[in-house]
Amino acid sequence: MSEVLNNVVNVISGLDGVLEVRQLSNDDILKIIDMEAQRSKDIVPVFNEGVQECFKRDVCFVIFKKGYFRVPPTPTVLLTFDGEILGHDVFDPEDKKKFRDDEDIMFLSDDFVIFKDVLNNYNLEKGNEYFVLPPVPFPELDPFKLDGVVSSSPSTKSDEYLKNKYSYGDDSSIATIIVSFNI
């Protein structure tokens, strides 16, 4: 592994909550692409745009992390209807407080908000809603001035595949993130 890649792995490994960092093989990438494509057939389809972006990069790492890993800088799950964002996940305590004080926001769960004004403009019975897992910045790599840094959460099946392959089993307290960039 090159010096840059070693330095990247060292920085990521040193983050709170990170258990391990592994470079994904081409075989891993192909299996994940297949698993993610199957999600488009769900009752509410899931499109993992973030993983698609990750796999367009030269280098792909998977991070195994615990729940105390830092809060993502942008939403990781969007609920959309005909391309309009109906809601998204929220993890930052200040954002949650702001949303709780907004009467145009409804919490679908403790970590997911719906925008009432957008919801009221659509007839959801048409069935054009879907989830998008967008690409997410990974600011810890900004000092390296790497090209095209992006991260994403794999969907459930891909997460399970990675945890099983790398001996984490079905431990629900561990999750995965894919981080990619060009060299």
pLDDT in tens, 45-83: 889 999 999 999 999 999 999 988 999 999 999 998 877
DSSP codes joined into one string, 76-116 = S-EEEETTEEEEEE---HHHHHHHHT-TTEEEEETTEEEEH
Tens digits of residue pLDDT in 96-114: 999 999 999 999 999 999 9
Instruction: List, in order, residues 6 or more apart from 175 with CB less than 8 Å away.
Output: 64, 65, 67, 153, 159
In whole angstroms, what is the distance from residue 143 CA to residue 150 CA?
14
pTM, rounded to two decimals: 0.88
How far is residue 102 CA from its own chain's centroid? Answer: 26
144-156: string of b/e by CB count within 10 Å (b at 16+)?
eebeebbbbbbbe
Contact 132, 75 (CB under 8 A): no
Handedness of CA 141, 143, 144, 149 (dihedral sign): positive
pLDDT band, residue 42 (cuts 50/70/90): confident
Domain boundaries of the chain, sorted by first residue:
1-71+136-183, 77-132
Handedness of CA 113, 140, 152, 56 (dihedral sign): positive
Over range 2-28, report the average pLDDT: 95
In whole angstroms, what is the distance from residue 181 CA to residue 183 CA?
7
In whole angstroms, what is the distance from residue 96 CA to residue 86 CA?
16
Task: Order the strands of the 46-47 sheet from edge to edge.
Answer: 46-47, 129-132, 78-81, 84-89, 112-115, 105-109
